[in-house]
Amino acid sequence: MEFSEKEALRYLGFRGKPADADTLALLKEVGAAASACVQPKSIYKEVSLRRVTDEDTEIGGIVFKSCKLQAHLKDSDRILVFAATLGANADMLIRRFSADNTAKAAVAQAVLAAMIERYCDEICDKIAAEEEKNGYFLRPRFSPGYADLDLSAQRDLFALLEITKRIGITLTDTCLMLPTKSVTAFIGLSKTKSCKTESCKTCTDTECAYRKEGI
């Protein structure tokens, strides 16, 4: 399975600096092991979208509270709910490496994080290609836990999509997802094109491991 080496290296703290040969070799080895064990699955569907107040957005008949989500959706008149996972064996691989090789465990963590991102992007690109025919463009994915959208929104999002039954992601009592290499998101659809990646420059979290310099 494909993943961005650059992205994986950023998670490992390289921040754009070139990686050494040992690390690159490890990325290749772990990447192959990860590709062999992941069971990628995804699911999405379009649901109804209605603004109730500045904070409340009714999505698929359920009210989600978040001003930032509403702002994010301001040009959208349609919305998709989306979930994807690499499956339980991705976590298994990290645990296995943790037993005797911390370096591989850390690299696996980064590689799998890059893989789930790439996998989500691939699915979204396919949806985007379809929607473009209808004159719609995809907004970036917006997930529970982003900005002021509380992580507990996961529960409703899970119900909307029957995520546990359909692709096997479960929620802990604290609303974290297991398997861990999983993503859920709202994806707005708008008739105007927006930049695909949200700008990192405008974000206040300057310590974020995902932060990209210069954009």
Binding site for another protein (CB under 8 A): 12-14, 17, 19-20, 22-23, 26, 37, 39, 41, 44-48, 60-62, 87-89, 91-92, 94-96, 98-103, 105-107, 109, 145, 151, 156, 159-160, 162, 164-166, 168, 170, 172-176, 178-180, 207, 209
User: Least distance in Å: CB of 72 to another protein?
Assistant: 18
- Taking the least distance from each CB to another protein, the nearer of 164 and 196 is 164
64 forms beta bridges with 57
Tell me, letter by letter, the H, E, C secondary structure of 32-48.
HHHHHHCCCEEEEEEEC
* Cβ-based neighbours of 165, under 8 Å, separated by 6 or more: none
Cβ proximity to another protein, 10 vs 141, nearer residue: 10
Q: How far is the CB of 106 from another protein (least distance, A)?
A: 6
We find the least distance from the C-beta atom of residue 36 to another protein, in angstroms, to be: 11
Kindly compute the dihedral angle of the four CA atoms of residues 42, 48, 52, 58, in this order, to the nearest 10 degrees: -40
Strand partners, 43: 83
The closest of 149, 143, 130 to 189, measured between CA atoms, is 130
